[in-house]
Amino acid sequence: MEIPTYRWALPENTGPLEALIEALERAQVDAAVFTSASQAHNLFALARKLGREGPLAANLSRTLVASIGPVCSVALREHGVKIALEAKPPKLGPLVAALDRALSA
């Protein structure tokens, strides 16, 4: 039996996420970094609530999408997002280093 030790929910103020969705629609985002599967699910849940889920995966896939690890990557792929890089090992330090290398290239 799997028992979740914590749960991530959308914040009360979804304004910053709504701004991200709008910036993605305008192709104003160079990279999107995901550090948990919940972030991906919550972003798509908000987009669905706003009626803007349709183009979100394509808009994200136009950016450099970085994932902290395999669980997060599976969640992103479930939403149709193309992942540019995944941290190995799945830790924040390797994620930041990989992102730095990718953006400096």
Determine which of 4-18, 45-59, 85-99 has the lowest per-residue pLDDT on average: 4-18
DSSP code at position 2: -
Instruction: Give pLDDT tens digits for 63-102.
Output: 999 999 999 999 999 999 999 999 999 999 999 999 999 9
Mean predicted confidence (pLDDT) in 35-45: 93
pTM of the model: 0.88
Answer yes or no: are the C-beta atoms of 65 and 81 closer than 8 Å. yes
> Quick one: pLDDT at residue 7?
66
